[in-house]
A = this chain, B = another copy of it.
Amino acid sequence: MQTVQLSEQVSFSRIVHGMWRLREWGMDKQELLRLIEECLEMGITTFDHADIYGDYSCEALFGQALREKPALRSAMQIVTKCGIKLRSAAYPEHLVNHYDTSKEHIIRSVENSLRHFGTDYVDTLLIHRPDPFMDPAEVAEAFAQLKQEGKVLEFGVSNFLPSQMEMLASYLSMPLVTNQLEISVMQFEHFEKGTIEKCQEKRIAPMAWSPLAGGSIFSASTERATRVKNTLEEIKEEIGADSIDEVMYAWLLAHPAKMMPIVGSGKIERVRTAAQAVKLTLSRQQWFRIYISSLGHNVP
C-alpha cells in the first residue's frame, strides 16, 4: 500500500479506513479488533474518526478494541475531528446542532478523544466544519497547546472552502496538513469551488469522504447516475477491474492531488476492494470519460 507523507512526522496510508458507522456494524470488540488487524495487514494504517460519530460513541468502541492489543497503536495513525456539537441524549444542553471552535472546547474534545481511544496522542486533528462564528486566534491557541503537550501531532480541516483554509492558516503557527472533502464521481463541488486546486496550491493532499457517492450509483435512480454507472461499467471491462467500486476508487486515486479515499465499511471484502484499486491505472482519457458522463456535457 502506498503512503502519503503529510508532514515530517505523519504519513497516511493511501486508503484510509473510516469509522463513521462503526456503531451500526454491531461488532463486539474482538470482531472490531480483527477488522483493524486485517486493515493493517493490507497496509491500511490510517483510521478516521470524529468525536460525534455514532452519537459520540465510535471513538470509545474503537478504544475498547485497541485496549485488547495496545501494541497496535504504534502501527496506525488515528485521525479525529472536533468542532460540532450535536443534539444528543449525552448532551441535553445542546438545543440545536451547532459548532464550537473555542479553545476550551477543542482542548476538552481532544482530551475526551484521547480517553476514549486509550492513547496519549492522535496523529491528526481536524476541525470538522467551517464555523461562521470561528475565532481563529482561539483555534490557533488550542492547536499550539495541543501540539506542545504532544496530544496531537498535526492539524487539518474538513469541508473547508479555500477562503476558510486561507483564513485559518493565517493564524496558525503550523501548516494545515489535509482537508477532508466530499469528492466522488458524483460530487464535484470541490472541483467547482476551487478547493482541490487550493489543496494543490498548498501542497496538501485531501482526504475524500463518501468516495462511492453514498450508493447513488448502485441504485442508479437518476439519469445522471445511470449515465455514470454505464461509463464505469465500460471502463471496468477495459482495465480489468472486478467491480465499478474499484473504478470509482481508481478515479480518485488517479488524480494528481493525491486524494486519500476513506472506506467506510465494516465488511473486510469491501475494504479489500479499495485496497485493490490502488493497483489500477486509469488513463487520462478514461478519467475524463467518467468526468464528462457525470457533468452531462462535453468539456468546453
Contacts and interface: CB of A to CB of B under 8 A. Distances in A.
Interface of A: 85, 94-100, 102, 129, 132-138, 159, 161-164, 166-167, 170, 191, 194, 196-198, 200-201, 254-256, 284-285, 287-289, 291-292, 298-300
Given A97-B298, A167-B200, 17 more contacts: A95-B289, A96-B285, A96-B292, A97-B299, A99-B288, A102-B284, A129-B299, A129-B300, A132-B191, A132-B196, A133-B254, A133-B255, A133-B284, A133-B287, A134-B256, A163-B197, A163-B198
Contacts of A135: 256
Given A100-B284, A285-B98, A194 B136 contact: no
6 contacts: A85-B285, A100-B284, A129-B299, A133-B287, A134-B256, A163-B198
Contact of A161 (B136, B194, B284, B292): B194
A98 B98 CA distance: 42
A201 B170 contact: yes
Contacts of A288: 96, 98-99, 133
A169 B137 CA distance: 23
A142 to B, nearest CB: 14
B291 A132 contact: yes
B256 A159 contact: no
B163 A194 contact: yes
A284 B129 contact: no
Contact of A96 (B94, B102, B289): B289
Contact of A197 (B96, B167, B194): B167
B298 A96 contact: yes
Contacts of A284: 98, 100, 102, 133
Contacts of A159: 300
A256 B100 CA distance: 13
B256 A95 contact: no
Contacts of A170: 201
Nearest to A188: B132
A98 B102 CA distance: 44
Contact of A99 (B191, B256, B299): B299
Contacts of A300: 129, 159
A255 to B, nearest CB: 7
A133 B138 CA distance: 36
B136 A200 contact: yes
A223 B132 CA distance: 23
Contacts of A299: 97-99, 129
